[in-house]
Amino acid sequence: MAWKSDANRWGAGARTLHWLMAVLIICLGAVGLYMADLPNSPQKIKIYALHKSIGLTVLALLVLRVAWRMADRRPDEVPMPHWQALAARATHLFLYVLMLVLPLSGWMYNSASGYPLQWFGLFNLPSLTGGADASLKGVAHAVHEYGFYLLALLLAAHVGGALKHHFVDRDDTLVRMLGLLRRRGTPPISDEPATAAPVPPAAPVVPPPATVTSQENPNP
């Protein structure tokens, strides 16, 4: 198992970070939606603490993932129209930005609320605001909430694009992130209209040689 990526697929390091972060982000979203309407209770406090710890884990994994990407190579791009390549890059960029913004806004919201922040009860993290701050609390909460909805939309577009490449385009976009073998070669796709291949001129038709027949002279 190769940890580094090659020209055809992502390495085990990139794949592990990708899928681990994907699972944790989905769990964060589910827990966040569940805990929002819970009544105040010790159970709610425990769920909030779990949500915060997982969010900090995603933030740490993001830093590790960016460092890994800088040291690792990127597989060759799958042939696709230029506009699709630009859309994919923009989606990935905004996903990385939101994966940074959401944990930091949650951290700031917790700090502006005046609550301590622990990572799975093992150690405390410093406050980003130096104490309670009502104005920053409202801003951080809005960024955290609406950033989550935007992240959900981008993740849906990301997953939809991967499935489209797999089932419609039938290329290697998804399988190389799964670490599977290549499906098959895919001819390059271009935005330019296809042109027919030149047809070689037809060979000239050569008539068969004339058959010489002898005629008998009727007169002796």
Residues of the chain predicted below pLDDT 70: 181-220
pLDDT reported for residue 125? 96
pTM passes above 0.75? yes
Distance, in Å, from the CA atom of 168 to the CA atom of 181, rounded to the nearest integer, reads: 18
Q: Which residues are registered as beta bridge partners of 118?
A: 124
pLDDT reported for residue 217? 46
User: Do the Cβ atoms of 173 and 165 come closer than 8 Å?
Assistant: yes
**Domain boundary assignment for the chain:** 12-178
What is the gyration radius of the CA atoms in the chain, in angstroms?
Answer: 31
pLDDT reported for residue 220? 41
Place of tokens 């290329």: 171
Per CATH, the number for 12-178 is 1.20.950.20
CA dihedral 66, 67, 68, 71 (to 10 degrees): 120
- DSSP-assigned states of every residue in 141-158: HHHHHHHHHHHHHHHHHH
Distance, in Å, from the CA atom of 41 to the CA atom of 194, rounded to the nearest integer, reads: 65
pLDDT reported for residue 179? 79
pLDDT reported for residue 79? 87
Distance, in Å, from the CA atom of 83 to the CA atom of 75, rounded to the nearest integer, reads: 19
Q: Kindly tell me the sign of the dihedral angle through the C-alpha atoms of 87, 89, 92, 96.
A: negative
Query: For residue 187, which phi and psi values (nearest 5 degrees)?
Result: -65, 145
pLDDT reported for residue 200? 54
- Alpha carbon distance, N-terminus to C-terminus of the chain: 101
pLDDT reported for residue 201? 55
pLDDT reported for residue 203? 56
